[in-house]
Structure 1
Amino acid sequence: MNSVVIVGRDAAFWLATNVMHTALAPAGVTVIAVELPSQLGAADVYTTLPPLEALHNQLRIDEAALLRATRGSFSLGQNFTDTVGMTPAFFHAHGSYGAPIDNHDFFPFWLKARDFGLGVALEDFSLTAAAAKHGRMVLPDDATEVYGRTDYAYHLPGLGYVRALRTLAAEQGVAIHPADAVAASLDPETGDILALELGEGRRVEGQFFVDATGGEGLLIGQALGVPRESWRENFPADRVMTARGPGFASIPAYAEVRAWTKGWVGLYPSQAETHVAQVYSSALCGDDEALQAAATVSGVRLSEVSVTVSDPGRRAVAWERNCVAIGEAACTFDPVHGVDLQAVQLGLVHLLSLFPAAGSFSAERVEYNRISRELFERIRDFQSAYYGLSRYGASAFWTQARQAKAAPELLHKIKTFQARGEVAPYENETFLPDSWRALFVGCGLTPESWNPMIERTPPEVMKGEFRRILGFIKDQVLKQPSHDLYLESFCRRDDARDAWNGGPLHG
């Protein structure tokens, strides 16, 4: 392979372009980008998971410059609340919960202590969650590294992030061909894609193609005819309304998901504003009612409102012939938990590990499709669990959510957790056991037992370790800078160059 053509739009397209160029250009592979018009609105925001930071590092993106250019912010997790007030809130933190006790995992000790009357929530043993609730960042040092994992993600305003990624691709010398539409020319004998017709007599040829055209799947679906498997029966919502609101006086270091009777509203703060997403079912709620509810639930004045369809599902295969689908062209997810860019990243990582060196790549294609199917389904299961285990009252929306179809793998994971507090592992998981535990416990699952190995630890040792952990968290949180001050100082670093003004984003 000596040429790859990537076609698409927005973050999935530009991440694919930058990653493929960075990885393949040293091997003499030419990457050509065919850019379709953006579908982003002014209110759109990319909510990410922690691994994106590592991908940015691989691309040599200067984090301070990126946050300054996009006016984005850090996120230490998501807080899930009930506006009706019937269900306790819970925090899904980007980091570990507790620290090992007597060389054993923390969680069974917490289960045992709770059974004996401990009134301290699981999330109170998370340094990341505690910092987020107090408006602080977590700056890792030797002490925190010993304690456990502390991660962060981002809230990146969509238009700014896409502009920054496009700037990076142009700086790297990627050939960019803007086009309003594309049509694929197929080999009549093999069915492979030979070239893309861009209109006005323009034609881009290649040996390998990446489809990042979003849910349309212009290559994988329309040209190659790969069917789509719907996950509509797994999720209750089919509409997403996005809007802009004014920024908070103090920028929270987390997102908040607020459940109401007919859906949920997500608040995703950035430096300049608050991005609001209203997720609901069109069968139960009209757009006008959804807008009014979004304003009430968010508590902010909304503008730049737009509505799109939410249609979770995946292609039967992500790699067909000489074309690989990335992002929503391969799989569309429900909006909860902000997994879209994580799926893009995983798709690219596995594609590069299996990138064909010769013309025959049937084995690589089969393996890529197996991996993709598993990782998409495991992400779907985590999202599905939030709805299926919800306790947000008996309204029609949340009743449908609890009655939605759940995969056998998810049901097995739930039963295993209920039995002994363990998270059944599957291959190609995105979410670590700490995340599954936080979700299960937050949704009210109570394990019937715990790992008996911890019974060897004396009760006084366990109690002493609990006090030590809580004291450590308190001391560390007080030492951390506020999210506001950290953003201000971080984005004004001398080497944080502003891509809006033409400066490079990479160092």
Structure 2
Amino acid sequence: MSSQPNRIVIVGRDAALWLSATIFRHALAPAGISVTAIELPTDLGPAATYASLPPLEALHNKLGLEESALLRATGGSFSLGHNVVGPVPGMPPFLLAHGSYGAPIDGAGFFPYWLKARRFGLQAAFEDFCLTAMAARQGRMLVPDEETELFGRTDYGYHLPALPYVATLKARAAKLGITTHHSSTIGVEHQVETGSISAILLDDGMRVEGDIFVDASGPEGILADQMPDISRDDWRPAFVANRRLTARAARFASVPAYAEIRVGASGWTALHATQAATFVSYAFALEEQDDESALAAAGKLAGLTLSDPVVTSVEQGIRHQAWSANCVAIGGAACSFDPLLDVELHAIQLGIVHLLALFPAGAIFSAERSEYNRITRSAFDRVRDFQSAFYAANRFGPTGFWAAARGATTPATVGHKLAIFRARGDIAPMEDESFAPDLWQALFTGLGEIPESWPPAIDRTPPERMKDDFRRMLGFIRRKVLEQPTHDGYLASLGRSEAA
């Protein structure tokens, strides 16, 4: 290769393959860059679902994926956050909502004022000041308007049954004219001098050349594992769950506008409700439960009859180099996360967005490669930190799974965040965060962490000013929530689901 790379070859499966292929084609075709997709056999079954964080909406918009059509085609639903239900009596459930908590008071952030007021008898929970959380609690969708935008951030994610979602992305790829090949296995042809990939060999004998090769094969890392640096950092010491069971059940009569994490004695179950079905994920440790007892525990926590169960191993960890030579690992091929909060699509999106931003402008791209590895590593570390904090600060039980989770090797960055929060309620800022500071505060307070104090600068605000602002916020939230359509009604207004 003696000029700017102009041929991208993507090897992979499912959402990682088709999101990468469609976005790269859409963004880079005007620059004369071709995209070829090599599809491997799917890893998906009828119990597979994708749960997204709010940024996925923007990615869909770039592709021209119309939201109502997507939800009709997939039988998907909206999600305003994650409701965490613990097993400890007296520990209230708490919502990790996709929206801001409270509004500034007297020019300062909301949380320290809430913390101070709680110390002096305020009964309202932190989430009571979150418009998105309160809409979710009332079974409402949150449709932003000028008033809500002035109040604060209001976002949503999706619950998308995986098979029809992938089919939708694949149809978009065909419409964009992406060259596609199918192969059960592949071979990799390397340049002897550099170790770079020169071509992919398909099982029908075809040879596909390229300049940049993207590994979208998931944890298999079918290309990345054949590059010069295949070393990984093992994150398993920070986590207890090493098995994940997925299954599905009948849809709820009324579809909740959030995911629910139900904590049990030996793990947790997540419920992702859609128009088509209810998708269930159970994370556990093989040392405590075998697969058969895990299925029983998942069904009991969910309160549902489960079907199509699949159990997979969980091996949390990250590659030292997501981009090695001319091979870029995306999503699960670059980093294997804990199942908590279902960040798989988010990891794929982070890789896509950063590769687009750093796509080589010339034949030599060591600087771009180095920066891509730095920024994706930083972003993935921050996602891991949020997951790790859920386990490290848990108060879900004195023994077994949850005691082991508290005793796990906590990343130093998580320990630092916890220490600062416990001292004064602040969230230590770090680069490349996916989760906003108030979501960290919602996590810690929901888990029962109460800071010792607050920044003294807020003491200059008169108590009556605080009380007036609290009343104003709560009144505004009550009024706006009542104006919102129900989640069921809003889904119905988008048209009948084709997958329900």
TM bracket (short chain): over 0.9
CA distance, structure 2, for counterparts of residue 270 and residue 453 of structure 1:
46
CA distance, structure 2, for counterparts of residue 394 and residue 227 of structure 1:
36
On the 8 A contact 1:387/1:398 being kept in 2, the answer is yes
Equivalent of 2:457 in 447, 453, 460: 453
Q: CA deviation at 1:225?
A: 4.8
TM superposition outliers: structure 1 runs of 4+ over 4 Å: none
Secondary structure at the aligned position of 1:99 is classed as coil
TM-score, length basis structure 2 = 0.97
On the 8 A contact 1:84/1:260 being kept in 2, the answer is no
Write the deviation string for residues 103-146 of structure 1: whole angstroms up to 9, x where unpaired: 22111110110111111100011110000011000111111111
Equivalent of 2:153 in 127, 143, 149: 149
Q: CA deviation at 1:84?
A: 4.9
1:231 is aligned with what amino acid? Answer: W
Where does residue 332 of structure 1 map in the other structure? Answer: 336
Where does residue 254 of structure 1 map in the other structure? Answer: 258
On the 8 A contact 1:267/1:277 being kept in 2, the answer is yes
Equivalent of 1:341 in 334, 342, 345: 345
CA distance, structure 2, for counterparts of residue 434 and residue 151 of structure 1:
14
CA distance, structure 2, for counterparts of residue 87 and residue 355 of structure 1:
48
Structure 2 residue 247 is matched with structure 1 residue 243: yes
Equivalent of 1:471 in 455, 475, 481: 475
On the 8 A contact 1:6/1:34 being kept in 2, the answer is yes
On the 8 A contact 1:83/1:297 being kept in 2, the answer is no
On the 8 A contact 2:229/2:321 being kept in 1, the answer is no
Give runs of aligned pairs for residues 253-272 of structure 1, distance below 5 A: 253-272=257-276
CA distance, structure 2, for counterparts of residue 109 and residue 153 of structure 1:
29
CA distance, structure 2, for counterparts of residue 210 and residue 217 of structure 1:
10
Structure 2 residue 211 is matched with structure 1 residue 207: yes
On the 8 A contact 1:257/1:265 being kept in 2, the answer is yes
Point out the more displaced range, 445-454 or 321-330. Answer: 445-454
CA distance, structure 1, for counterparts of residue 44 and residue 145 of structure 2:
38
Where does residue 504 of structure 1 map in the other structure? Answer: none
Where does residue 361 of structure 2 map in the other structure? Answer: 357
Give runs of aligned pairs for residues 133-172 of structure 1, distance below 5 A: 133-172=137-176
CA distance, structure 1, for counterparts of residue 88 and residue 304 of structure 2:
18
Where does residue 174 of structure 1 map in the other structure? Answer: 178
Equivalent of 1:79 in 80, 83, 91: 83
Write the deviation string for residues 271-302 of structure 1: whole angstroms up to 9, x where unpaired: 02100011100010011111111111101111
Unaligned runs of 5+ in 2: none
CA distance, structure 2, for counterparts of residue 395 and residue 288 of structure 1:
22
Secondary structure at the aligned position of 1:218 is classed as coil
CA distance, structure 1, for counterparts of residue 214 and residue 466 of structure 2:
53
Secondary structure at the aligned position of 2:154 is classed as coil
Unaligned runs of 5+ in 1: 501-507
Where does residue 64 of structure 2 map in the other structure? Answer: 60
Give runs of aligned pairs for residues 489-504 of structure 1, distance below 5 A: 489-491=493-495
Equivalent of 1:231 in 230, 235, 240: 235
Q: CA deviation at 1:226?
A: 1.3
Where does residue 20 of structure 1 map in the other structure? Answer: 24
Q: CA deviation at 1:459?
A: 0.6
CA distance, structure 1, for counterparts of residue 87 and residue 443 of structure 2:
18
CA distance, structure 2, for counterparts of residue 103 and residue 229 of structure 1:
42
Equivalent of 1:372 in 362, 376, 382: 376
Secondary structure at the aligned position of 1:491 is classed as coil
CA distance, structure 2, for counterparts of residue 83 and residue 11 of structure 1:
34
CA distance, structure 1, for counterparts of residue 328 and residue 227 of structure 2:
12
1:403 is aligned with what amino acid? Answer: G
Write the deviation string for residues 150-207 of structure 1: whole angstroms up to 9, x where unpaired: 1000000111111110010011000010111111100111111000000121110001
Where does residue 290 of structure 1 map in the other structure? Answer: 294
CA distance, structure 1, for counterparts of residue 119 and residue 226 of structure 2:
56
CA distance, structure 1, for counterparts of residue 229 and residue 353 of structure 2:
25
Secondary structure at the aligned position of 1:46 is classed as strand
Write the deviation string for residues 236-284 of structure 1: whole angstroms up to 9, x where unpaired: 0011111111111110000100111100011100002100011100010
Structure 2 residue 423 is matched with structure 1 residue 443: no
Between the two proteins, the alignment pairs up a number of residues equal to 495
Identity among equivalent positions (%) equals 54
Point out the more displaced range, 217-226 or 231-240. Answer: 217-226
Equivalent of 1:427 in 431, 454, 459: 431
Q: CA deviation at 1:223?
A: 4.5
Where does residue 414 of structure 2 map in the other structure? Answer: 410
CA distance, structure 1, for counterparts of residue 93 and residue 190 of structure 2:
53
1:83 is aligned with what amino acid? Answer: P
Secondary structure at the aligned position of 2:223 is classed as helix
CA distance, structure 2, for counterparts of residue 418 and residue 374 of structure 1:
24
On the 8 A contact 2:197/2:213 being kept in 1, the answer is yes
TM-score, length basis structure 1 = 0.96
Structure 2 residue 323 is matched with structure 1 residue 319: yes
CA distance, structure 2, for counterparts of residue 441 and residue 81 of structure 1:
14
Write the deviation string for residues 303-359 of structure 1: whole angstroms up to 9, x where unpaired: 011111111111111000001000000001011112111111111111111111211
Secondary structure at the aligned position of 1:102 is classed as coil
Write the deviation string for residues 361-407 of structure 1: whole angstroms up to 9, x where unpaired: 11111111111111111110100000011111113100110011111
1:48 is aligned with what amino acid? Answer: S
2:57 is aligned with what amino acid? Answer: E
On the 8 A contact 2:391/2:402 being kept in 1, the answer is yes
Secondary structure at the aligned position of 2:54 is classed as coil
On the 8 A contact 1:86/1:392 being kept in 2, the answer is no
Secondary structure at the aligned position of 2:458 is classed as helix
CA distance, structure 1, for counterparts of residue 491 and residue 61 of structure 2:
19
On the 8 A contact 1:87/1:392 being kept in 2, the answer is no
CA distance, structure 2, for counterparts of residue 40 and residue 294 of structure 1:
20
Where does residue 301 of structure 1 map in the other structure? Answer: 305
1:341 is aligned with what amino acid? Answer: L
Write the deviation string for residues 53-83 of structure 1: whole angstroms up to 9, x where unpaired: 0111111110111111000000000000123
Give the superposed CA RMSD.
Answer: 1.2
On the 8 A contact 2:131/2:477 being kept in 1, the answer is yes
Equivalent of 1:279 in 263, 275, 283: 283
CA distance, structure 2, for counterparts of residue 311 and residue 163 of structure 1:
28
Secondary structure at the aligned position of 2:140 is classed as coil
On the 8 A contact 1:83/1:259 being kept in 2, the answer is yes
Structure 2 residue 400 is matched with structure 1 residue 396: yes
CA distance, structure 2, for counterparts of residue 427 and residue 149 of structure 1:
20
1:92 is aligned with what amino acid? Answer: L
CA distance, structure 2, for counterparts of residue 14 and residue 490 of structure 1:
25
Structure 1 residues 309, 10: closer, same or farther in 2, change over 3 A?
A: same
